[in-house]
Amino acid sequence: MREEISKYQKKLRLSSSLMEIYPNIEAESHEEFLLKLLKELNEDREEKRRIRNLKNAGFQVLKSLEGYDYSQIRFPNSLRVQELESLSFVDKKENLILYGSVGTGKTHLSVALGVKLINEGKKAVFYRVHDLINQLESDDQKKKSSIYKKINQADLLILDEWGYLPLHQEGARLLFDIVSICYETKSIIITTNIEFGKWKGFLFDEKLTAAIVDRLIHHSHMLIFTGKSYRMANSLIR
């Protein structure tokens, strides 16, 4: 009989965990058994989706908001810590610009927010800007289509190290294309140590720079990181 159940489980594309779940369910009626089984199958599916989304997000290291120190961050009047951690800005399709010196916790915060979003059942994707542009300039059309698909399906796009390395004109155009795709359809988090007025220095095209800034700041909150480099302060060399 277990073989028959397994056969229909595969045919109906039910969770592979079905064979481990159903023998442990205790119920006083057929309806109660079915309800408990469906609940556990759904929870199993959601957990597998969460793990898959974390794997596909592109995070180099997973980070958490637990114990995160906000004392060296200046928040705008439009956003408070509680609102940030509730991820309400994602529901509103708003952007975050995390601005400050290297090593002050910008990437940590962006990844931690992305991880929390995924743990709550949504999708986030993470790219270093230069890596993203290099991949989009590849001749591999399948890979490029996959990147656009991931971004289109995500609720949050994290663009790390914005402006750390200069882009040529085609790279700037591709970056503009990505920002335009996300405009008012999903949230973007940018980490940067470059102020707006100097973005032309790595984008080179004045018109593209103006168009990108215009789309990013329309629905944005800027968090300014004022602390010193955490990595320098905790360096083993010191």
Reply yes or no on whether the pLDDT at 117 is more than 50. yes
Q: For residues 124 and 116, what is the distance between their CA atoms, to the nearest angstrom?
A: 9
Average pLDDT value for residue range 98-105: 92
Residue 11 banded pLDDT, cuts 50, 70, 90? confident
Reply yes or no on whether the pLDDT at 145 is more than 80. yes
The per-residue pLDDT for 105 is 94
Reply yes or no on whether the pLDDT at 19 is more than 60. yes
What pLDDT, in 10s, does the model give residues 209-223?
889 889 988 899 999
Give residue 125's Cα distance to chain centre: 4
| Strand pairing category for 95-100 and 220-225 | parallel
Q: For residues 164 and 166, what is the distance between their CA atoms, to the nearest angstrom?
A: 7
Q: pTM for this one?
A: 0.87
**By percentage, how much of the chain surpasses pLDDT 90?**
64
Partnered with residue 124 across adjacent β-strands are: 156
Reply yes or no on whether the pLDDT at 234 is more than 90. no
Greater pLDDT, 15 or 128: 128
Q: How far is CA 118 from CA 7, 60, 229, in A?
A: 32, 15, 28
Greater pLDDT, 158 or 201: 158
Q: Where are the domains of the chain?
A: 2-56, 73-233
Reply yes or no on whether the pLDDT at 168 is more than 90. no
The per-residue pLDDT for 31 is 92
Domain 73-233 CATH (choose: 3.40.50.300, 3.40.50.720, 3.90.550.10, 3.90.180.10): 3.40.50.300
